[in-house]
Amino acid sequence: MRARKSLGAHAVVDAMTRSGVKRVFTVSGNHIMSLFDASLDAGVELIHARHEAAAVHMADSWARLTGEPGVAWVTGGPGHANAVSALFTAKLAESPVILLSGHAPQDQIGRGAFQEMRQAEMAQGVTKASWTASDARSVGQDVTSAIREATSGRPGPVHLSLPTDVLERDVDARGPATEAIAPRQTPLGRDDADGILAWLRRASSPLVLTGPSGLAHALRGQIDGLGDALGIPVIGMESPRGVQDPSLGTFTEVLAKADAVLLLAKRLDFTLRFGASALFASGCEFMQIDPDPDEIHRAQRALGGRLRHAVVADLRSAAEALKVAGASRSDCRAWRQDVEAAIRYRPESWDTAKSSQVGRLHPVQVCRPFQSVLDRHPDSVLVCDGGEFGQWAQACLRASNRVVNGPAGAIGASLPMAVAARLAKPNAPVIAFLGDGSFGFHAAEFDTAVRYQLPFLAVVGNDARWNAEFQIQLRTYGQDRAVGCDLLPTRYDQVAAAFGGYGEMVDRPDRLSAAIGRSLDCGRPACLNVAIEGVPAPVIERRPG
């Protein structure tokens, strides 16, 4: 190996490896070639995606499933612009993603540099923090700060732009050694924990609501344990459909009965209709624990006197403090059972659901056979995209690990997320459900999966329509004013096969099981292209009786 002085690029990679990051999702480009070179010396594995947004979605999925920060490298200018849209999904999913973007050299800024762009400002609104490194001697500390910010408080994405002259500059040393990277903690005090628990014990129908980060790998076990420790229902929310999340059954019934709701790092946003009194019982009171003071101020404005107490603390510390201070409520058993029954409830009519159209399947007919596949392994992964078909999958199926498009509501992420899921869970089934519209966003990631030998199964619900938008038009404007939603009945299975994967078309229910078996046994990334009836997403409002 040739002798060389330390470069800024090596300082970037060194800071990442100190934090335990050994895998990066990336698309190559001029501005970041020095990072590629530095990764060879550090043993960092590069997963080369086909689109910058896909690389970010992969980093997002990796972070949710492993609890580690997910890192994406992209080139500057248009490469950075491509990546920014995926940061919004990561932000609302509360996923600790770090986007490192190449950037025009500092001494050319304002002079019309190649692919010059105000990158930090562009990413500002969809990240926790966004800035541009300015010195090779401190760029390692910049990376350390980005990782710490992404993983602290409410997790979320952070962007750092890296000018080429910072990455490529020779320096005599790497500057100050980067310290061990650990998230900042804001603990919940014992007095606050005792007060909140006393308030919950006085309630007859208490609920604890948490947000997307409480459902991710890093905290899921702790949140599940909190419900058992307190004997109080703890419900995680991560759907853009909010209280009408089909995976939560008759959740609105639960909220209407609750007399005390603890918002445990759960934003009081559109998913809870901003605390609208019509959603909750008239006497329902609230308390809030949140790492973000701005979220507390927003809840105070929305709830007024209904918010009895609020305190700043991070989710992990708060959950642990509540478990230590609490004791399980045996008198809440009946309420907890009622909540669990409401969440599990699905209409009996689903058991016999069939398509009214020849040559098409009802979404329930497509989804139900996959439950036995997901049950085969304790670490199985269910990936669900947005759109109507993705909502049916979320309603019908459960798995040890679930990755969805989250409160952002954006579609198109499921294929890259499935690629990263296979890396995170190499021995478990990975099944992704997506609509035909969603398939078009990142179809080329089948190429990525084939190159890296990462088999997963993509199930495409093909109704030849942007069905979510069509249903809005149908309800709002009428059938005769539905426009711009038609798609071709494309053979997406053949698209996957053209990339080197496996594909089958299914248009009859009796052919589905055998096709599932062949797709899972082929050892390649696979696509089942299923002709479905374009029905609306499920809305489960109430149990009968």
Handedness of CA 290, 295, 297, 298 (dihedral sign): negative
- Confidence band (pLDDT; 50, 70, 90) for 5? low
Q: Which CATH number is associated with domain 348-531?
A: 3.40.50.970
What's the whole-number mean pLDDT along residues 216-226?
85
How many Cα atoms within 13 Å fall on the side-chain side of residue 179?
4
How many Cα atoms within 13 Å fall on the side-chain side of residue 506?
29
Element (H, E) at 503: strand 502-506
Model confidence, pTM: 0.95
Single out the residue of 388, 474, 475, 478 nearest to residue 434, CA to CA: 388
**pLDDT tens, residue by residue, 380-418:** 999 999 999 999 999 999 999 999 999 999 999 999 999
Asked whether the beta carbons of 392 and 353 are under 8 A apart, the reply is no
Supply the DSSP string of 127-181, one letter for each residue.
SSEEEE---TTTHHHHHHHHHHHHHSSS---EEEEEEHHHHH-EESS--SPPPP-
Name the average pLDDT for the chain.
Answer: 93
- Residue 463 main-chain phi, psi, to 5 deg: -110, 10
Tell me whether domains 6-171 and 190-344 share a fold.
yes
Check whether 540 has a pLDDT greater than 90: no
- Confidence band (pLDDT; 50, 70, 90) for 2? very low
The 3-class SS string of 303-341 reads HHHHEEEEEECCHHHHHHHHHHHCCCCHHHHHHHHHHHH
- Confidence band (pLDDT; 50, 70, 90) for 6? low
Domain residue ranges of the chain, discontinuous segments joined by +: 6-171, 190-344, 348-531
- The reported pLDDT for the residue numbered 173 is 47
Check whether 176 has a pLDDT greater than 70: no
Any idea which architecture 6-171 has in CATH? Answer: 3-Layer(aba) Sandwich (3.40)
- The reported pLDDT for the residue numbered 180 is 55
Asked whether the beta carbons of 31 and 164 are under 8 A apart, the reply is yes
Q: Which CATH number is associated with domain 190-344?
A: 3.40.50.1220
- The reported pLDDT for the residue numbered 217 is 83
**pLDDT tens, residue by residue, 259-284:** 999 999 999 999 999 999 899 998 99
**pLDDT tens, residue by residue, 51-66:** 999 999 999 999 999 9
Check whether 136 has a pLDDT greater than 50: yes
Check whether 330 has a pLDDT greater than 90: no
Rg from Cα positions in the chain: 24
Check whether 545 has a pLDDT greater than 80: no
- The reported pLDDT for the residue numbered 531 is 98
CA distance 534 to 531: 9
